[in-house]
């Protein structure tokens, strides 16, 4: 009953502070998911970590200069500090022989260390307004007021709008900068603009989850979304949705008495979303890929056995025994029996008292596999000048993945050959 009361209160918007925090966190996380998509696609996940830690000295300096906790001043300080960190990374990478991971680690450590030192100095400075500044380390969404939400929401939505407008350009530089430059795109300007959006997103996001966890907010939704789609627009939508939902759910869990800051719960929920996507993604998920691998293994076994039955049984015109096939082709008995039972179920073979009878359907399937094998042997021999004794193994590996379309093109290219390099007939 208590849980139901929490739920009704949460969604009724009766609690003004809770409503503000929920909306603010949701929008911040949505923007982080959208912008982080391109950080992920450009394989710059650690850049997000560097930026999130480098904004801390900017926030501290902004407070030291103004003496007040104004979100606009904090934002400006964070943006400047974040952009400086990116410039340092790019400059050192261009001018030195240090590896990128080393540069990133050094930059992150230096900026974060400076930030912690400045925060410590502020805490001992006697300014009463400094209370709560340490919340930027781990975030404190509950401290957001209406002014914060308005400012951060506007910036977040503007960032998302910019992503939508420059979607094609950002997609292009994420995959092929050289091509983008070749067709007239100002790659340097686009990279700078994307970096600015990333820094601004981080600058507003640290209010919710803090500098320590901000990198997770950038990368995790995109990583999860990648397992659900190959389309960048869909990936953006899914990533943003993951972020928005995590923001709301994280706030709800924290509100319900978990006794923990909102930021960690947002990241935990987000990680759960990503984990589900990684495991159960329809095409790219772990279980889906495992299923595909298993099905491919079964398909290869089926086709190999059919092919061997056809060859050993004089082109499939006579029956052979299971023992003959085991002796001739060296099949493990257990594997052969299970494969034959599968082939029997799909009406490719018949099994009668240890005898294997190839059906018309099975004979056609066997001829198809053999035809692909021998066509590929000819192709390798003609265009790669492979020796005849090296053709079989290579052809054996590719024959199972040649599509009907590729087979047609091979026949056309090779001018419908009658025999393979070993002078064996090609069955059509």
Nearest to 86 by CA among 94, 96, 76: 94
Q: How far apart are CA 177 and CA 185, in angstroms?
A: 9
The pLDDT value given to residue 1: 42
Place of tokens 């696609």: 41
CA distances from 180 to 176, 185, 187, 221 (A): 6, 5, 7, 26
Total-model pTM = 0.78
The pLDDT value given to residue 287: 93
Show Cβ contacts of residue 107 under 8 Å, excluding neighbours closer than 6 positions: 50, 54, 85, 88, 89, 92
Superfamily name with CATH number, domain 2-281: ABC transporter involved in vitamin B12 uptake, BtuC (1.10.3470.10)
Give CA torsion, residues 373, 375, 376, 377, to 10 deg. 90
SS3 content of the chain, % helix, strand, coil (to 5): 80, 5, 20
Local confidence pLDDT in tens for the 428 residues of the chain: 455 555 565 556 566 677 777 888 888 889 999 999 999 998 888 888 888 888 889 988 988 888 777 778 888 888 999 999 999 998 999 898 888 889 998 998 999 899 888 888 887 766 645 555 666 665 666 667 777 788 888 888 999 999 999 999 999 998 888 888 888 889 999 999 999 999 999 888 887 777 777 888 889 999 999 999 989 999 999 999 999 999 888 888 887 765 677 788 888 999 999 999 999 998 889 999 999 999 999 999 999 999 988 888 777 677 888 888 888 778 888 889 999 999 999 999 999 888 898 999 999 999 999 999 999 999 988 888 877 777 888 888 888 888 889 999 999 999 999 988 888 889 88
Domains of the chain, by residue range, sit at: 2-281, 304-358, 363-413
Dihedral (CA of 406, 412, 417, 418) sign = positive
What's the CATH number for 304-358? 1.10.10.10
Q: How far apart are the first and last CA of the chain?
A: 72
The pLDDT value given to residue 258: 57
Is 327 exposed, middle or buried, given 0-12, 13-18 or 19+ CB atoms closer than 10 A? exposed
The pLDDT value given to residue 127: 60
For every residue of 55-75, DSSP letters joined together read HHHHHHHHHHHH-S--HHHHH
3-state secondary structure of 351: strand
User: 418 and 425 in contact (C-beta within 8 Å)?
Assistant: yes
- The CATH class given to the 363-413 domain equals mainly alpha
Q: Which two tokens stand for residue 348?
A: 């490719």
The pLDDT value given to residue 133: 60
User: 209 and 267 in contact (C-beta within 8 Å)?
Assistant: yes
Alpha-carbon 304 to chain mean position: 35
């Amino acid at each position: 009953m208590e849980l139901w009361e929490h739920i009704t209160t949460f969604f009724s918007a009766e609690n003004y502070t809770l409503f503000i925090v929920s909306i603010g966190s949701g929008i911040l996380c949505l923007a982080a998911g959208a912008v982080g998509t391109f950080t992920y696609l450009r394989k710059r996940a650690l850049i997000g970590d560097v930026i999130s830690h480098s904004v801390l000295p900017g926030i501290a300096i902004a407070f030291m200069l103004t003496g007040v906790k104004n979100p606009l001043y904090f934002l400006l300080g964070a943006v400047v500090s974040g952009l400086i960190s990116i410039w340092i990374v790019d400059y050192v990478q261009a001018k030195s022989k240090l590896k990128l991971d080393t540069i990133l680690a050094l930059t992150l450590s230096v900026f974060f260390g400076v930030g912690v030192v400045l925060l410590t100095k502020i805490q001992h400075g006697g300014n009463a307004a400094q209370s709560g500044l340490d919340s930027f380390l781990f975030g404190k969404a509950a401290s957001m007021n209406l002014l914060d939400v308005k400012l951060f929401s506007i910036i977040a939505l503007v960032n998302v709008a910019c992503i939508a407008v420059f979607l094609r350009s950002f997609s292009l530089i994420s995959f092929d900068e050289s091509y983008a430059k070749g067709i007239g795109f100002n790659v340097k300007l686009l990279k700078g603009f994307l970096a600015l959006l990333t820094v601004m997103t981080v600058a507003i996001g640290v209010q919710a989850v803090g500098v320590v966890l901000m990198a997770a907010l950038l990368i995790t939704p995109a990583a999860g979304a990648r397992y659900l789609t190959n389309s960048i627009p869909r990936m953006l939508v899914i990533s943003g949705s993951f972020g928005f939902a995590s923001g709301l759910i994280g706030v709800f869990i924290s509100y319900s008495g978990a006794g923990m800051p909102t930021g960690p719960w947002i990241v935990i929920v987000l990680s759960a979303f990503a984990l589900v996507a990684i495991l159960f993604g329809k095409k790219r998920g772990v279980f889906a890929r495992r299923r595909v691998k298993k099905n491919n293994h079964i398909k290869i076994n089926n086709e190999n056995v059919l092919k061997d039955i056809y060859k050993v049984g004089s082109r499939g015109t006579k029956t052979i025994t299971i023992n003959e096939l085991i002796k001739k082709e060296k099949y493990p008995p257990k594997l052969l029996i299970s494969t034959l039972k599968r082939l029997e179920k799909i009406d490719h073979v018949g099994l009668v008292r240890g005898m294997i009878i190839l059906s018309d359907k099975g004979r056609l399937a066997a001829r198809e596999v053999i035809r692909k094998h021998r066509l590929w042997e000819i192709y390798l021999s003609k265009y790669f000048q492979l020796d005849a004794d090296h053709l079989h193994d290579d052809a054996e590996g590719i024959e199972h993945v040649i599509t009907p379309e590729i087979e047609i093109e091979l026949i056309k290219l090779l001018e419908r050959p009658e025999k393979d390099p070993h002078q064996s007939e090609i069955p059509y």
